[in-house]
Amino acid sequence: MTVTGYFLSMNQLVSLEENLPNLAPVEDPEVAQLIRSARGVVLPRGVTEKRYRKITAMARDWFPNLDGRYAYPGKTTQSLLFRRLKVRHPTTFVYPDSQKLMDAEKGILPLDYPFVLKGDLGGGGSAVFPVTSRNNLLDGLNRLPAERPVLIQQWVKHGGMDLRVVVVGARTASYFRVGGGNFYNNACRGGRIHPEIFPELQQSGLGAVASFCRLSGINLAGFDLMFPDSGPPVFVEINYNFGRKGLGGTPGFRELFREAVELWKCGEAYPKPPC
């Protein structure tokens, strides 16, 4: 059966059969009719959850799928998603706020030093702290918002590197980030990007992420994986706002996004495991 109709873009990166500005008012009857009648809608850049819900309530299909982003927005809820989908991840304990963790510290914590302290939100390692002592823990907590959830996490021996897998629809890119001898591997903290090393581990990571995306519905994110041993990769974190340096900067990301939209129009919205 031949499917007829048009695709609608609300994203300035992509021009399709029909186009609307990023901030087109979805309450407008003409805008709403364009959305309802389209075969699929490319969502605006930086779409808020409220606007996302309004558009997707009318659209037959859309790209990207941000359901997972809004259902599991922070590091604490991501740990629940990892557990629910039964992927390998560090042992994690979540506290509703900093004070609850400080209260727990007065007794016996569920993890021995060293471990990792993380705030719920924040990119580039800004809310992630290595903890080797009580002083480290208290110092890290003082740098985090007191009212937000926090977690402590098993220290994963990563050999000074981790794998970033970027998913944009059915398109993927992967590269190792190698730290400068300190705890952090983030490119913004001096980590070096190496897309060519350990190809067999990259294939393993790409396969694990492809399966995860199909189970979770997430198809726009950067995943951080570690390989502490010969077992499956360890899922450490999901980044919905990820750096583009390893993709060739903004031009590289835009090209990846456009390619992903063309694949989505053909029915491919999620990555396939590598052969």
Angstrom distance (rounded) from CA 25 to CA 28: 6
Q: Is the pTM of this model over 0.95?
A: no
Cis bond upstream, residue 64 (ω within 30): yes
For 130, the 3-state DSSP assignment is: strand
pLDDT of 32 reads 97
pLDDT of 68 reads 94
Condensed to tens digits (0 to 9), the pLDDT of residues 212-238 reads 999 999 999 999 999 999 999 999 999
CATH topology of domain 161-265: D-amino Acid Aminotransferase; Chain A, domain 1 (3.30.470)
Enclosing H/E stretch for 225 = strand 220-226
- Identify the CATH number of the domain defined by range 91-154: 3.30.1490.20
Share the mean pLDDT of the chain.
93
Q: Report, as ranges of residue numbers, the positions in the chain whose pLDDT lies below 70.
A: 1-4, 124, 181-184, 188-190
Angstrom distance (rounded) from CA 42 to CA 133: 48
β-sheet with 40-42: strand ranges across: 18-19, 7-9, 40-42, 62-63
pLDDT of 237 reads 94
Domain ranges of the chain: 7-63, 91-154, 161-265
Number of CB atoms found within 10 A of residue 140's CB: 22
Tokens 């890290």, residue located: 140
Angstrom distance (rounded) from CA 46 to CA 51: 10
pLDDT of 186 reads 74
